[in-house]
A and B are shown apart, each in its own frame.
Chain A
Amino acid sequence: MTAYTADEMMTIAAARRLANGEVCFVGIGLPSAACNLARLTHAPDLVLIYESGTVGTRPTVLPLSIGDGELAETARTVIPLPEIFTHYLQRGRVDVGFLGGAQIDRFGNLNSTVIGAYDHPSVRLPGAGGAPEIAAHVRRLLIVMKQSARTFVDRLDFRTTAGFLDGGDARDRAGLRGGGPQAVITDLGELTPDPVTREFTLTAVFDGVTADAVRAACGWPLRVADRLAKTAPPSEIELRTLRALHERTREAHSHRVRLTLNR
C-alpha cells in the first residue's frame, strides 16, 4: 500500500459518502476536493452546485474561489445567486451539503464567526456565508473538520450554523426541515449522531488511529461506539485521482495573470 496523508484519507472518506446522481451544494477547500474526487471516481453523475450560481459544473481543476471562471465555463447553467438560495436550496432541491468551521460542538453545531465575544472578538473569522441555510435545508449535511481539543469544543463561542441544537428533537422543534448533520469526517476518523440524543459518537477510525487518540483530540467527553469500525484505507485509484486533481490545480494556480489591454 502506498503511503498517504491524514488529509488525503479525510478527503477520500468524505468523497465515499456521496452517492451517484445526488445534488450536492459544494463549499471551497476540502469539500470541493471531495466532491470532485467522487465525481471522477464512483459518482460520475453527481450534480455539483456552487453558491456563486454555477449548476452542474464539472471543473478539471479545483477552484481557489467559489466563483472561478472554471466553474462557470464547465457548468450546465449559470444563474443569479438569489435563485440558487431560494429556488434550489430553500425550495428543498439539494440532497447533500458539505460544511466545515472553526469550532464544532457535540451536537454538530458550528462556529465560523468569532473566537471570543461577538462585540470584542479575539479572532474575527470570515462569518456565515451560505452555511446557516445550507445546514437548514439540505436533506443531509456532511461536516469535514480537522480534529483537535481546540476546535471540537464543549461550548461554541458563537453558533453560526445550527446542527442538532441542544440534541434530541430540538432541531425539529425549531422548524428546521433538512435532516441535519449525518457525519463528521475528521483527520482521525468518522463520527455519526446517536439516533436519539443526536450526540456525535465516534463510529469509525482511520488505519493506525486509536479511540484514545481521538478522545484526546476532543474537547468534550467523546462517546465511542461499542463496535468501532475501521475506515478502509485509500484505494490506488482514489489516491491517484486525488493527487492528479491537486497537481493540476497547483499548476493552474501558480501563474500570475498578465493582461493585454485593448485600446
Chain B
Amino acid sequence: MSAVEFLPLRTAMERHVQDGMTVALEGFTHLIPFAAGHELIRQRRRGLTLARMTPDLIYDQMIGMGCASKLVFSWGGNPGVGSLHRLRDAVEHQWPCPLALDEHSHAGMAVRYTAGAAGLPFGTLKGYTGTDLMTANKSHIATIACPFTGEPVTAVPALTPDVTILHAQQADREGNVLMRGIVGASREAASAAKALVVTVEEMVDQLDAPMNAFVIPAWRIAAVSVVPGGAYPSYALGHYPRDNAFYQAWDGISRDRDVFLAWMTTHVLKTSTHAEFLQRAGALA
C-alpha cells in the first residue's frame, strides 16, 4: 500500500507517463480526461500505446500531434458527427507517423480490461463469431474450447496499461475518489492498470457517497490532481454538460492538417494550464 499524492497536473503526468508506455485514458463519452491528454501533448510524449474503447477527440488530438505509435480500441468515430480525421490520416497516410492497430469490439475490449483487472492472462466471451476481425487481429483474438463442455468460446488477452488516467467529480482530503453517472469500463481499466492517476473537478471534505457508489479508495491511486473542467469538451455530470456544439465544430478543425496544427498550437501548446485552455477555447462563462 502506498500513499496517494496530490500533485499539480503537470507534475503528475511528468512523474507517471513516460515515452513508450501503454496508457489508457478511459471514460465512455462521459468524464474523458481531456486536461491530462492535453498535458501529455504539451510534454511531447512519443511512442505511446494508447488504449481506449472510443478514441474520441482526445486521442484524435494526441495521434495528430504525434504522441502515439499504437492504438488499442473498438470504435474510432466522432460520436453522432462522423470520422476522427486525424486517426484516419494516420491509418490511411501514416501522418504524422505510422499507427499500429490492435482492434476489437466493445464487448472484447470490456473483457480485456476485466481480465486485466482480475489478474488473469485472458478473458472469454461469446463474440467476434463470423467476423473478419478474428483474422485481421489474430494475435489478439482466438477461439478456444470450454474445458468442461467443449463449447467454443472466444478468448482475448488481458489488457494491463502501465497507467490508467481517469477524470472524476470529487476527491476527499484523503484522496478517495467518487465517480457519478456513466462509467463505461473505467472501473475495470482502473483495476487493470499498474498505476492509476485521477483528475477531479473538486476537492471536498466529505464525499457523501451512497453505500454502493463507485468510490476508488485512496490507497489504490498513485496521484490525484484537482483540475476543474478537466473533462471539457466531454462532460462531468452535475458540473457541466457535454459541449455537443464543439464536437460538431471539431469536424471542421480536424479535417485539414494545417488547420488542426494551428488550432492545437494556439489552444494546447501555447497554453500552460487547463484553465488557460478553457479560456482560449471560449469555454468559460
Which residues of A approach B to under 8 Å, CB–CB? 28-29, 51-54, 63-69, 71-73, 78, 80-82, 85-86, 89-90, 109, 113, 118, 121-133, 136-137, 158-162, 165, 171, 174-177, 252-263
Q: Is the beta-carbon distance between B184 and A67 smaller than 8 angstroms?
A: yes
CB closest chain-A residue, reference B80: A64
Interface of A is mostly: loop
Q: Is the beta-carbon distance between B183 and A253 smaller than 8 angstroms?
A: no
Q: Is the beta-carbon distance between A129 and B246 smaller than 8 angstroms?
A: no
Chain B residues whose CB sits within 8 angstroms of the CB of A262 once the complex forms: 201-202, 228
Which 7 pairs show the lowest CB-CB distances between chains A and B? A67-B29, A162-B130, A126-B77, A129-B75, A65-B79, A64-B80, A82-B110
User: Looking at A81, A158, A161, which has the most chain B CB atoms within 10 Å of its CB?
Assistant: A81
Name the segment of B15-23, B83-91, B258-266 touching the other chain: B83-91
A80 to B111, CA, bound (A): 12
Chain A residues whose CB sits within 8 angstroms of the CB of B29 once the complex forms: 52, 65-68
Chain B residues whose CB sits within 8 angstroms of the CB of A125 once the complex forms: 77, 83
Q: Is the beta-carbon distance between B283 and A175 smaller than 8 angstroms?
A: no
Q: Is the beta-carbon distance between B92 and A133 smaller than 8 angstroms?
A: no
Which residues of B approach A to under 8 Å, CB–CB? 28-30, 53-54, 73-77, 79-81, 83-84, 87-88, 91-92, 103-107, 110-111, 113-114, 125-133, 136, 152, 181-188, 201-202, 228-229, 232-233, 235, 237, 239-248, 275, 278, 282-285
Min CB distance A94 to B, Å, is: 13
Q: Is the beta-carbon distance between A126 and B136 smaller than 8 angstroms?
A: no
CB closest chain-A residue, reference B79: A65
Chain B residues whose CB sits within 8 angstroms of the CB of A252 once the complex forms: 244
Q: Is the beta-carbon distance between A128 and B133 smaller than 8 angstroms?
A: yes
Q: Is the beta-carbon distance between B278 and A85 smaller than 8 angstroms?
A: no
Q: Is the beta-carbon distance between B131 and A160 smaller than 8 angstroms?
A: yes
Given A69-B235, A132-B107: A259 touches B285 (CB 8 Å cut-off)? yes
Q: Is the beta-carbon distance between A257 and B79 smaller than 8 angstroms?
A: no
Q: Is the beta-carbon distance between B133 and A259 smaller than 8 angstroms?
A: no
From A29, A53, A127, B28 is in contact (CB under 8 Å) with A53
A261 to B74, CA, bound (A): 33
12 intermolecular pairs with C-beta atoms under 8 Å apart: A64-B248, A67-B182, A68-B241, A124-B91, A125-B83, A129-B75, A133-B105, A133-B107, A253-B245, A257-B246, A259-B228, A259-B239
CB closest chain-A residue, reference B284: A259
A258 to B233, CA, bound (A): 10
Q: Is the beta-carbon distance between B74 and A258 smaller than 8 angstroms?
A: no
Q: Is the beta-carbon distance between B246 and A256 smaller than 8 angstroms?
A: yes
Chain A residues whose CB sits within 8 angstroms of the CB of B247 once the complex forms: 64-65
A146 to B237, CA, bound (A): 35
